Amino acid sequence: MKRQVVILGLVVSCLFGCGRETGTERQAADVARLSEAALANAVYLDGIQTGETVQLTDGQYTNTDEYLHMELLNLRAYGDLDGDGVDDAAVLLATNTGGSGVFVDLAVVLDRGGKPQDTARYFLGDRVKPERMAINGGLIELALVVHGPDDPLCCPTESVVWRFRLVGSELVKE
């Protein structure tokens, strides 16, 4: 009798659980679709608002003729931003145009069948210091240090937490 109960329990748990992904497994599977390599080798808007695109290679792009260097920073977050049930990515891109400034943008990269699509951008500032980022409930939450009213350009000191929502192809700060 005890053996039959154990077997019945296994059958029932298989009917209700076998082949199903847990939330954590689903999230890991979705993250794996939009890989680090895909993000580091994607096409992005150029970072200086000209509408041109650049192809990153191993997270970097350099064009010495135009004094343009763009780099994918290490801070990323994954979650569904466009409501399609597939995890997308929020990434940070730093652009230098030959001077002392390092202009940092928040970019939304949608997952289109495992292929990254740079969809929206928000300029965060010159030489800001991003600290952490997460996506929860369709919102990007970004903690960073920005320039206070009396800070020199080299040295931001004001800690802030900004939240962004993707609306169509635009990032809106809430």
pLDDT single digits (tens) 96-114: 988 889 999 999 999 998 8
Give a yes or no: residue 10 inside a domain: no
**Total number of domains constituting the chain:** 1
Whether 8 maps to a domain, the answer reads: no
Q: Is residue 9 part of a domain?
A: no
pLDDT at residue number 3: 45
Give the N- to C-terminal CA distance of the chain in Å, as an integer: 61
- The 10s digit of each residue's pLDDT in 151-164 is 998 999 999 999 99
The verdict on residue 150 lying in a domain is yes
Q: How many residues are there in the chain?
A: 174
Taken in order 48, 53, 56, 59, the sign of the CA dihedral is: positive
Average pLDDT over the chain reads 83
| Domain span holding position 120 | 23-173
In a domain, 137, yes or no: yes
Answer yes or no: is 13 within a domain. no
**Predicted confidence (pLDDT) at residue 28 exceeds the cutoff of 70:** no
Are 164 and 140 contacting, i.e. CB atoms less than 8 angstroms apart? Answer: yes
Give pLDDT, residue 49.
62
Residue 1: inside a domain: no
User: Does 69 reside within a domain?
Assistant: yes
Whether the predicted pLDDT of 76 surpasses 70: yes
